[in-house]
A and B are shown apart, each in its own frame.
Chain A
């Protein structure tokens, strides 16, 4: 099976500081892959490298490449905007636009010119249903998105990402600001969504990775230490450093 996201010998620098060195990970399609590791290990940098978000910062450079379903993300002729259309991203803090729920979800298809106004209600409904939010907001689509609860806002952001029908969904600590019930809803949602979209999630919550990720990659000091099926990684890791991290014996 070809990788949905094929990270090849990837290195990354913030100025003179090397944040990632020689990382190769083949993220398989229609699975949930978790990136774990202590703060500063490079996991978020790698996640943002997939849609070239790191380039928004000054004085950065990379080596190696990342293939998105076979297409080089860092190829010379790549149009970054159309690349990012193929990738949905959800952040730590829910960040809905100060617009109506409807307009939040319709935003992507509108600016991307994917649909005309008559098709939008259907697209919005479909995205909200996929994000398991429709039943809670169907009768108040004109209310502002920022008025929803934290968990609902995060699902709204997921719906907004899904409205563009992305190939990959990137999530950076999507539940760290949510209570356990809202967290569980997001986790269940991600498990449902992986049938249609490849998911990469960065999380500090090891049990979350163990619960939902099919495969897990452990990073330390910018290097990939271990990558494999989550059940093996969390019960009998091959590497001593993985063992130390997942059992909380990190000094």
Chain B
């Protein structure tokens, strides 16, 4: 059973992977530019992110169509089936990453009107880690690497901790000076959106484990299993 024959279906799957990579690249780029627009108070850059989100949306629709076709025409089984189901969910997750980049950009535009109070190191760090998680989860998808997927899931806690610390810092600002409330609320939204991006990267990583091993590790299923619950 060695020397598996060439399957045209694999070419189709490769095309699908390329499209997901393209989507992921754009989504990461949008998050990066949105965070930079916040830090550099650049409403034009924010506006560009909002405008270009349409391209991510149309990539999602294209991807949905090709998955539908592949399911109908090839009726795949086992790993092929899991791959297509996961691709569908991943494209939806990436589209939502794009939406969060838009939300951050909207905040960036509104923040121009306020005095800057950004707790920059936390914000920069959150942006960096969530983008890395996205990149690593897609890389795990391409290489079908469940271990790398699990590593992404573990990093989610890091972003959650940064989000909590942003929350405390912003509360302190607001308590000390009510003038900062407007800016602090916007920054809290930015932080919340970045925390969601990390969650979506975690979803992608969980789907990679599903493709490779055929089991769901969502909602901490694996941790509960380890504890024997």
* A interface residues (Cβ-Cβ under 8 A, vs B): 206-207, 210, 220, 234-237, 241-244, 246-251
Contact = CB atoms under 8 A, between A and B. Distances in A.
B36 interface: no
B215 A248 contact: no
Interface residues of B, number: 17
User: Main SS of the interface on chain B?
Assistant: loop
> Shortest 3 CB-CB distances between A and B: which pairs?
A236-B214, A246-B77, A251-B4
B2 A247 contact: no
A210 B77 contact: yes
Nearest to A248: B7
Contacts of B76: 247
A244 B1 contact: yes
Contacts of B215: 236
A238 B17 CA distance: 25
A241 B78 CA distance: 12
A181 to B, nearest CB: 18
Contacts of B77: 206, 210, 234-235, 246-247
Contacts of B2: 251
B82 A235 contact: yes
Contact of B4 (A220, A235, A237, A249): A249
Nearest to B83: A247
B81 A235 contact: yes
Contacts of B81: 234-235
B78 A236 contact: yes
Interface string B1-42: 111110101000000000000000000000000000000000
A237 B215 CA distance: 11
Contacts of A210: 77
B122 interface: no
A246 B74 CA distance: 12
A98 to B, nearest CB: 39
Contacts, number: 43
A243 B4 CA distance: 12
Contacts of B75: 207
A248 B81 CA distance: 12
A243 to B, nearest CB: 5
Contacts of A207: 75
A27 B1 CA distance: 28
16 contacts: A210-B77, A234-B78, A235-B81, A243-B79, A246-B77, A246-B78, A247-B78, A247-B79, A248-B7, A248-B9, A249-B4, A249-B5, A250-B1, A250-B4, A250-B5, A251-B2
Interface of B: 1-5, 7, 9, 75-82, 214-215
A220 B4 CA distance: 16
B78 A235 contact: yes
Contacts of A242: 78
Contacts of B5: 249-251
A110 B9 CA distance: 54
Nearest to A241: B1
B7 A249 contact: yes
B81 to A, nearest CB: 6
Contacts of A241: 1
A235 B7 contact: no
Contacts of A234: 77-78, 81
A235 B214 contact: yes
A235 B1 CA distance: 21
B218 to A, nearest CB: 15
Nearest to B210: A236
Nearest to A246: B77
A251 B6 CA distance: 9
A237 B1 contact: no
A251 B80 CA distance: 17
* Residue among A210, A236, A247, A250 having the largest count of chain B Cβ atoms under 10 Å: A247
Contacts of A248: 7, 9
Contacts of A237: 78
Contacts of A220: 1
